[in-house]
Protein backbone atom coordinates (compact mmCIF):
# COMPACT_ATOMS: atom_id res chain seq x y z
CA UNK A 1 0.00 0.00 0.00
CA UNK A 2 2.83 2.36 0.91
CA UNK A 3 4.56 1.65 -2.40
CA UNK A 4 1.29 2.22 -4.26
CA UNK A 5 0.77 5.61 -2.56
CA UNK A 6 4.32 6.64 -3.38
CA UNK A 7 3.86 5.72 -7.05
CA UNK A 8 0.52 7.54 -7.13
CA UNK A 9 2.10 10.65 -5.58
CA UNK A 10 4.93 10.64 -8.13
CA UNK A 11 2.48 10.17 -10.99
CA UNK A 12 0.32 13.09 -9.84
CA UNK A 13 3.40 15.27 -9.37
CA UNK A 14 4.59 14.39 -12.88
CA UNK A 15 1.19 15.21 -14.36
CA UNK A 16 1.14 18.55 -12.54
CA UNK A 17 4.55 19.42 -13.92
CA UNK A 18 3.46 18.48 -17.41
CA UNK A 19 0.33 20.59 -16.98
CA UNK A 20 2.38 23.59 -15.87
CA UNK A 21 4.72 23.17 -18.82
CA UNK A 22 1.81 22.87 -21.26
CA UNK A 23 0.27 26.06 -19.92
CA UNK A 24 3.44 28.09 -20.32
CA UNK A 25 2.43 30.84 -22.75
CA UNK A 26 4.60 31.75 -25.71
CA UNK A 27 6.10 35.15 -26.33
CA UNK A 28 4.09 36.64 -29.22
CA UNK A 29 5.81 39.44 -31.13
CA UNK A 30 3.89 41.40 -33.74
CA UNK A 31 6.58 43.01 -35.91
CA UNK A 32 5.01 45.63 -38.16
CA UNK A 33 6.72 47.35 -41.09
CA UNK A 34 4.57 50.36 -41.91
CA UNK A 35 3.22 50.38 -45.46
CA UNK A 36 4.72 47.05 -46.47
CA UNK A 37 3.80 46.38 -50.12
CA UNK A 38 2.68 42.81 -50.76
CA UNK A 39 5.35 42.41 -53.47
CA UNK A 40 8.22 43.72 -51.35
CA UNK A 41 9.56 40.26 -50.39
CA UNK A 42 9.96 39.45 -54.10
CA UNK A 43 11.09 42.81 -55.43
CA UNK A 44 13.41 44.01 -52.66
CA UNK A 45 16.37 42.61 -50.78
CA UNK A 46 14.63 41.00 -47.80
CA UNK A 47 16.57 37.81 -46.99
CA UNK A 48 15.33 37.60 -43.37
CA UNK A 49 11.64 37.82 -44.21
CA UNK A 50 12.04 35.43 -47.11
CA UNK A 51 13.74 32.89 -44.85
CA UNK A 52 10.83 33.17 -42.40
CA UNK A 53 8.37 32.58 -45.22
CA UNK A 54 10.01 29.19 -45.85
CA UNK A 55 10.09 28.37 -42.15
CA UNK A 56 6.52 29.33 -41.31
CA UNK A 57 3.00 29.98 -42.55
CA UNK A 58 2.74 32.70 -45.17
CA UNK A 59 -0.08 34.81 -46.52
CA UNK A 60 0.97 36.79 -49.58
CA UNK A 61 -2.02 39.11 -49.39
CA UNK A 62 -3.57 39.67 -45.99
CA UNK A 63 -6.48 42.07 -46.30
CA UNK A 64 -6.99 45.20 -44.22
CA UNK A 65 -9.96 47.54 -44.38
CA UNK A 66 -9.39 50.60 -46.58
CA UNK A 67 -6.64 52.61 -44.81
CA UNK A 68 -8.58 55.83 -44.36
CA UNK A 69 -8.06 58.19 -41.43
CA UNK A 70 -10.56 61.07 -41.41
CA UNK A 71 -9.78 64.08 -39.24
CA UNK A 72 -13.42 65.06 -38.71
CA UNK A 73 -16.52 63.16 -37.62
CA UNK A 74 -17.27 60.55 -34.97
CA UNK A 75 -14.35 58.31 -35.93
CA UNK A 76 -11.76 61.04 -35.39
CA UNK A 77 -13.08 61.75 -31.90
CA UNK A 78 -11.82 58.40 -30.65
CA UNK A 79 -9.14 57.30 -33.13
CA UNK A 80 -5.80 58.87 -34.00
CA UNK A 81 -4.83 56.44 -36.78
CA UNK A 82 -6.26 54.80 -39.89
CA UNK A 83 -9.13 52.29 -39.88
CA UNK A 84 -6.98 49.11 -40.01
CA UNK A 85 -5.33 49.79 -36.64
CA UNK A 86 -8.35 49.84 -34.31
CA UNK A 87 -9.80 46.94 -36.32
CA UNK A 88 -6.59 44.98 -35.78
CA UNK A 89 -6.49 45.65 -32.03
CA UNK A 90 -10.23 45.17 -31.48
CA UNK A 91 -10.51 42.19 -33.82
CA UNK A 92 -13.77 43.42 -35.34
CA UNK A 93 -15.03 45.66 -38.15
CA UNK A 94 -17.47 47.21 -35.68
CA UNK A 95 -15.20 49.86 -34.18
CA UNK A 96 -16.54 51.30 -30.93
CA UNK A 97 -14.79 53.30 -28.17
CA UNK A 98 -15.92 50.81 -25.53
CA UNK A 99 -14.51 47.76 -27.35
CA UNK A 100 -11.73 45.87 -25.61
CA UNK A 101 -8.37 45.66 -27.41
CA UNK A 102 -6.12 42.62 -27.72
CA UNK A 103 -3.53 44.03 -25.30
CA UNK A 104 -6.25 44.60 -22.71
CA UNK A 105 -7.37 40.99 -23.05
CA UNK A 106 -3.78 39.78 -22.67
CA UNK A 107 -2.73 42.23 -19.94
CA UNK A 108 -5.13 40.69 -17.45
CA UNK A 109 -2.80 37.67 -17.41
CA UNK A 110 0.57 38.78 -18.81
CA UNK A 111 2.78 41.79 -19.46
CA UNK A 112 2.45 43.54 -22.81
CA UNK A 113 4.47 46.21 -24.61
CA UNK A 114 4.18 48.55 -27.60
CA UNK A 115 7.20 50.29 -29.13
CA UNK A 116 6.79 52.71 -32.06
CA UNK A 117 8.43 55.89 -33.36
CA UNK A 118 5.31 58.04 -33.74
CA UNK A 119 2.43 59.20 -31.55
CA UNK A 120 -0.08 58.45 -34.31
CA UNK A 121 -1.09 55.17 -32.64
CA UNK A 122 -1.90 56.61 -29.21
CA UNK A 123 -5.57 55.60 -29.53
CA UNK A 124 -4.66 51.92 -29.88
CA UNK A 125 -2.01 51.96 -27.14
CA UNK A 126 -4.56 51.82 -24.33
CA UNK A 127 -4.03 48.90 -21.99
CA UNK A 128 -0.41 48.03 -22.81
CA UNK A 129 1.64 47.40 -19.68
CA UNK A 130 4.49 49.37 -21.27
CA UNK A 131 4.11 51.83 -24.14
CA UNK A 132 6.93 53.73 -25.84
CA UNK A 133 5.72 56.13 -28.54
CA UNK A 134 8.62 58.43 -29.39
CA UNK A 135 8.73 60.17 -32.79
CA UNK A 136 12.38 61.10 -32.23
CA UNK A 137 13.44 57.43 -32.47
CA UNK A 138 14.81 55.94 -35.67
CA UNK A 139 13.65 52.47 -36.69
CA UNK A 140 16.98 51.14 -35.42
CA UNK A 141 16.35 52.73 -32.04
CA UNK A 142 12.83 51.29 -31.89
CA UNK A 143 14.30 47.82 -32.22
CA UNK A 144 16.98 48.64 -29.62
CA UNK A 145 14.25 49.73 -27.18
CA UNK A 146 12.23 46.58 -27.88
CA UNK A 147 15.25 44.35 -27.20
CA UNK A 148 15.97 46.17 -23.92
CA UNK A 149 12.40 45.58 -22.80
CA UNK A 150 12.64 41.90 -23.69
CA UNK A 151 15.89 41.68 -21.73
CA UNK A 152 14.49 43.31 -18.60
CA UNK A 153 10.78 42.47 -18.57
CA UNK A 154 8.84 39.21 -18.64
CA UNK A 155 6.69 40.13 -21.64
CA UNK A 156 4.28 37.81 -23.44
CA UNK A 157 2.87 40.10 -26.13
CA UNK A 158 4.72 42.91 -27.89
CA UNK A 159 3.91 45.06 -30.90
CA UNK A 160 6.97 46.57 -32.58
CA UNK A 161 6.09 49.11 -35.26
CA UNK A 162 8.60 50.73 -37.62
CA UNK A 163 7.06 53.91 -39.03
CA UNK A 164 9.80 55.05 -41.40
CA UNK A 165 8.83 52.93 -44.45
CA UNK A 166 5.36 54.48 -44.49
CA UNK A 167 6.83 57.96 -44.17
CA UNK A 168 9.21 57.21 -47.02
CA UNK A 169 6.26 56.07 -49.12
CA UNK A 170 4.78 59.53 -48.63
CA UNK A 171 8.10 61.10 -49.68
CA UNK A 172 8.02 59.09 -52.93
CA UNK A 173 4.45 60.22 -53.59
CA UNK A 174 5.33 63.87 -52.98
CA UNK A 175 8.64 63.82 -54.90
CA UNK A 176 9.14 65.72 -58.15
CA UNK A 177 10.07 64.57 -61.67
CA UNK A 178 13.72 65.30 -60.90
CA UNK A 179 13.90 62.21 -58.68
CA UNK A 180 14.69 58.79 -60.23
CA UNK A 181 11.96 57.28 -58.06
CA UNK A 182 9.28 59.81 -59.10
CA UNK A 183 5.90 58.14 -58.59
CA UNK A 184 7.59 54.75 -58.24
CA UNK A 185 8.43 53.16 -54.90
CA UNK A 186 10.55 50.57 -56.75
CA UNK A 187 12.58 53.20 -58.62
CA UNK A 188 16.31 53.78 -58.36
CA UNK A 189 17.41 55.29 -55.02
CA UNK A 190 13.88 54.93 -53.65
CA UNK A 191 13.88 55.92 -49.95
CA UNK A 192 10.90 53.62 -49.47
CA UNK A 193 12.81 50.60 -50.77
CA UNK A 194 15.83 51.48 -48.62
CA UNK A 195 13.72 51.75 -45.46
CA UNK A 196 11.99 48.41 -46.15
CA UNK A 197 15.35 46.69 -46.60
CA UNK A 198 16.57 48.27 -43.36
CA UNK A 199 13.44 46.98 -41.59
CA UNK A 200 14.35 43.51 -42.81
CA UNK A 201 17.87 43.89 -41.41
CA UNK A 202 16.39 44.99 -38.06
CA UNK A 203 14.11 41.96 -38.11
CA UNK A 204 17.29 39.89 -38.25
CA UNK A 205 18.57 41.69 -35.14
CA UNK A 206 15.40 40.82 -33.22
CA UNK A 207 15.75 37.16 -34.22
CA UNK A 208 19.45 37.11 -33.30
CA UNK A 209 18.61 38.46 -29.85
CA UNK A 210 15.83 35.91 -29.35
CA UNK A 211 18.11 33.06 -30.41
CA UNK A 212 21.01 34.23 -28.27
CA UNK A 213 18.85 34.72 -25.19
CA UNK A 214 17.17 31.32 -25.46
CA UNK A 215 13.74 32.83 -26.10
CA UNK A 216 13.47 31.90 -29.78
CA UNK A 217 12.13 28.40 -29.18
CA UNK A 218 9.14 29.81 -27.30
CA UNK A 219 8.45 32.81 -29.57
CA UNK A 220 5.66 33.15 -32.10
CA UNK A 221 6.82 35.88 -34.46
CA UNK A 222 4.28 37.57 -36.72
CA UNK A 223 5.55 39.92 -39.43
CA UNK A 224 3.10 42.14 -41.31
CA UNK A 225 1.94 45.76 -41.62
CA UNK A 226 -1.11 47.85 -40.81
CA UNK A 227 -1.72 48.52 -44.51
CA UNK A 228 -0.15 48.15 -47.93
CA UNK A 229 1.44 50.67 -50.26
CA UNK A 230 0.60 52.12 -53.66
CA UNK A 231 3.21 51.69 -56.36
CA UNK A 232 3.41 55.47 -56.63
CA UNK A 233 3.70 55.92 -52.86
CA UNK A 234 1.42 56.29 -49.82
CA UNK A 235 -1.74 54.26 -49.16
CA UNK A 236 -4.49 55.90 -51.15
CA UNK A 237 -8.05 54.95 -50.30
CA UNK A 238 -9.05 53.20 -53.52
CA UNK A 239 -5.74 51.72 -54.65
CA UNK A 240 -6.16 48.00 -54.06
CA UNK A 241 -2.45 47.59 -53.28
CA UNK A 242 -3.18 49.64 -50.15
CA UNK A 243 -5.63 46.98 -48.98
CA UNK A 244 -3.18 44.11 -48.84
CA UNK A 245 0.10 43.37 -47.12
CA UNK A 246 2.13 40.17 -46.58
CA UNK A 247 1.98 38.25 -43.32
CA UNK A 248 4.06 35.41 -41.94
CA UNK A 249 3.81 33.36 -38.73
CA UNK A 250 6.77 31.42 -37.34
CA UNK A 251 7.39 29.70 -34.04
CA UNK A 252 6.57 26.62 -31.96
CA UNK A 253 3.73 24.62 -33.46
CA UNK A 254 3.43 26.85 -36.54
CA UNK A 255 3.24 24.93 -39.82
CA UNK A 256 6.42 25.11 -41.88
CA UNK A 257 6.43 26.12 -45.55
CA UNK A 258 2.63 26.53 -45.60
CA UNK A 259 0.82 29.22 -47.57
CA UNK A 260 -2.74 30.26 -46.84
CA UNK A 261 -4.78 31.75 -49.66
CA UNK A 262 -6.40 34.49 -47.61
CA UNK A 263 -6.33 36.24 -44.22
CA UNK A 264 -8.04 39.25 -42.70
CA UNK A 265 -6.40 41.49 -40.13
CA UNK A 266 -9.54 41.28 -37.98
CA UNK A 267 -8.56 37.62 -37.46
CA UNK A 268 -5.22 38.62 -35.98
CA UNK A 269 -6.39 39.65 -32.48
CA UNK A 270 -8.45 36.47 -31.90
CA UNK A 271 -5.55 34.38 -33.26
CA UNK A 272 -3.09 36.03 -30.85
CA UNK A 273 -5.57 35.60 -27.99
CA UNK A 274 -5.93 31.90 -28.87
CA UNK A 275 -2.16 31.44 -28.97
CA UNK A 276 -1.89 32.97 -25.49
CA UNK A 277 -4.86 31.10 -24.07
CA UNK A 278 -7.01 34.15 -23.33
CA UNK A 279 -10.44 35.20 -24.57
CA UNK A 280 -10.69 37.19 -27.80
CA UNK A 281 -11.18 40.90 -27.09
CA UNK A 282 -14.56 41.07 -28.87
CA UNK A 283 -17.07 38.53 -30.14
CA UNK A 284 -19.71 40.74 -31.78
CA UNK A 285 -21.25 40.21 -35.22
CA UNK A 286 -18.31 41.88 -36.92
CA UNK A 287 -15.57 39.98 -35.10
CA UNK A 288 -12.93 37.85 -36.77
CA UNK A 289 -11.92 34.33 -35.77
CA UNK A 290 -8.77 32.58 -34.63
CA UNK A 291 -7.11 31.07 -37.71
CA UNK A 292 -5.92 27.75 -36.33
CA UNK A 293 -4.77 26.62 -39.78
CA UNK A 294 -1.48 28.39 -39.15
CA UNK A 295 -0.63 25.46 -36.86
CA UNK A 296 0.93 22.24 -38.12
CA UNK A 297 -1.63 20.16 -36.20
CA UNK A 298 -4.53 21.70 -38.13
CA UNK A 299 -5.34 20.66 -41.68
CA UNK A 300 -5.45 23.63 -44.05
CA UNK A 301 -6.62 21.63 -47.08
CA UNK A 302 -10.17 22.93 -46.82
CA UNK A 303 -9.31 26.43 -45.61
CA UNK A 304 -11.65 28.69 -47.60
CA UNK A 305 -12.62 31.62 -45.37
CA UNK A 306 -15.30 34.12 -46.41
CA UNK A 307 -13.62 37.14 -47.97
CA UNK A 308 -15.46 39.72 -45.91
CA UNK A 309 -12.97 42.60 -45.87
CA UNK A 310 -12.05 42.20 -49.52
CA UNK A 311 -15.75 42.32 -50.39
CA UNK A 312 -16.45 45.37 -48.21
CA UNK A 313 -13.49 47.25 -49.69
CA UNK A 314 -14.68 46.52 -53.22
CA UNK A 315 -18.19 47.65 -52.31
CA UNK A 316 -16.94 50.93 -50.85
CA UNK A 317 -14.82 51.61 -53.92
CA UNK A 318 -17.73 50.90 -56.27
CA UNK A 319 -20.10 53.02 -54.19
CA UNK A 320 -17.80 56.03 -54.46
CA UNK A 321 -17.45 55.54 -58.21
CA UNK A 322 -21.21 55.24 -58.78
CA UNK A 323 -21.93 58.12 -56.40
CA UNK A 324 -19.49 60.30 -58.34
CA UNK A 325 -21.11 59.33 -61.65
CA UNK A 326 -24.49 60.37 -60.26
CA UNK A 327 -23.16 63.75 -59.15
CA UNK A 328 -21.65 64.33 -62.59
CA UNK A 329 -24.97 63.33 -64.18
CA UNK A 330 -26.73 66.20 -62.40
CA UNK A 331 -25.32 68.64 -64.95
CA UNK A 332 -27.32 66.99 -67.75
CA UNK A 333 -30.17 65.39 -65.83
CA UNK A 334 -31.29 67.50 -62.89
CA UNK A 335 -33.43 64.79 -61.31
CA UNK A 336 -30.21 63.08 -60.21
CA UNK A 337 -29.85 65.78 -57.56
CA UNK A 338 -32.90 64.28 -55.85
CA UNK A 339 -31.44 60.79 -56.12
CA UNK A 340 -28.12 61.88 -54.63
CA UNK A 341 -29.91 63.69 -51.79
CA UNK A 342 -32.14 60.67 -51.10
CA UNK A 343 -29.08 58.42 -50.98
CA UNK A 344 -27.93 60.25 -47.88
CA UNK A 345 -30.86 58.55 -46.14
CA UNK A 346 -29.89 55.10 -47.44
CA UNK A 347 -27.88 53.02 -44.96
CA UNK A 348 -24.93 52.20 -47.24
CA UNK A 349 -22.01 51.42 -44.96
CA UNK A 350 -19.27 53.46 -46.63
CA UNK A 351 -16.09 54.93 -45.18
CA UNK A 352 -17.77 58.06 -43.80
CA UNK A 353 -20.21 55.99 -41.75
CA UNK A 354 -17.74 53.56 -40.22
CA UNK A 355 -18.87 54.45 -36.69
CA UNK A 356 -22.34 53.20 -37.67
CA UNK A 357 -21.27 49.87 -39.11
CA UNK A 358 -22.20 48.07 -35.90
CA UNK A 359 -25.85 48.94 -36.61
CA UNK A 360 -25.77 46.31 -39.37
CA UNK A 361 -25.63 43.64 -36.65
CA UNK A 362 -23.37 41.32 -38.57
CA UNK A 363 -20.77 41.44 -41.31
CA UNK A 364 -23.00 39.32 -43.54
CA UNK A 365 -25.91 41.74 -43.17
CA UNK A 366 -23.69 44.76 -43.82
CA UNK A 367 -22.49 43.21 -47.07
CA UNK A 368 -26.04 42.29 -48.09
CA UNK A 369 -27.37 45.81 -47.44
CA UNK A 370 -24.50 47.33 -49.40
CA UNK A 371 -24.97 44.93 -52.29
CA UNK A 372 -28.66 45.83 -52.66
CA UNK A 373 -27.95 49.56 -52.69
CA UNK A 374 -25.17 49.16 -55.24
CA UNK A 375 -27.50 47.15 -57.44
CA UNK A 376 -30.11 49.93 -57.34
CA UNK A 377 -27.51 52.61 -58.04
CA UNK A 378 -26.22 50.73 -61.07
CA UNK A 379 -29.76 50.13 -62.38
CA UNK A 380 -30.60 53.83 -62.02
CA UNK A 381 -27.51 54.87 -63.97
CA UNK A 382 -28.11 52.22 -66.64
CA UNK A 383 -31.73 53.33 -67.12
CA UNK A 384 -30.64 56.94 -67.43
CA UNK A 385 -28.15 56.04 -70.16
CA UNK A 386 -30.76 53.98 -72.02
CA UNK A 387 -33.09 56.95 -72.18
Q: DSSP of 216-252, one letter per residue?
A: GGGEEEEEE-SS---TTSS--TT-GGGGEEEEEEEST
**In the predicted model, is pLDDT for residue 55 greater than 70?**
yes
| pLDDT score, position 13 | 47
Instruction: Report yes or no: 116 and 72 within 8 Å, Cβ to Cβ.
Output: no
Q: Give the CA angle between residues 214, 154, 268 to the nearest 5°.
A: 90
Quote the distance between the C-alpha of residue 155 and its chain's center: 21
Mean pLDDT (whole number) for 346-353:
92
Give residue-wise pLDDT tens across range 69-120: 999 889 999 999 999 999 999 999 999 999 999 999 999 999 999 999 999 9
* 26 confidence band (pLDDT: 50, 70, 90): very high
Res. 169 pLDDT band, cuts 50 70 90: very high
Q: Where in the chain is the domain with CATH 3.40.720.10?
A: 26-294
**pLDDT at 272 (0 to 100):** 98
Q: What is the pLDDT of residue 383?
A: 86
- What's CA 170's distance to the chain center, in Å? 20
Residues 6+ apart with CB under 8 A from 361: 285
Which of 362, 312, 273 is closest to 88 using CA atoms? 273
* More confident of the two residues 2 and 128: 128
Would you place residue 14 in the very low, low, confident or very high pLDDT band (cuts 50, 70, 90)? very low
pLDDT of residue 23: 59
Mean pLDDT of 159-182: 97
| Nearest residue to 53 (alpha-carbon basis) of 336, 348, 256, 284 | 256
Residues in the chain: 387
Domain 26-294 sits in CATH at: 3.40.720.10
Full-model pTM: 0.92
- Please, which residues have CB within 8 angstroms of residue 14's CB and are 6 or more apart in sequence? none
Amino acid sequence: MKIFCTILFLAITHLNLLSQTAKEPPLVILYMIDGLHWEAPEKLDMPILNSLIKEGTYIQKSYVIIPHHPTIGDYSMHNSCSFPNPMLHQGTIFIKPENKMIQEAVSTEYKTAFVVNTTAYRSVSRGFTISIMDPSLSDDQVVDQAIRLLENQDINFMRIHLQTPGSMGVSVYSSGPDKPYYRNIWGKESPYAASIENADKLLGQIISYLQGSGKWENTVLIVTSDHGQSDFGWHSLFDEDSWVTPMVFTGPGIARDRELSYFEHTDLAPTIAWLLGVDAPNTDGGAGNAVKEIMKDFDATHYHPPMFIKTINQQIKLYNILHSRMILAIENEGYFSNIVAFMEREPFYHQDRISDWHKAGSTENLIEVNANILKNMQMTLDQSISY
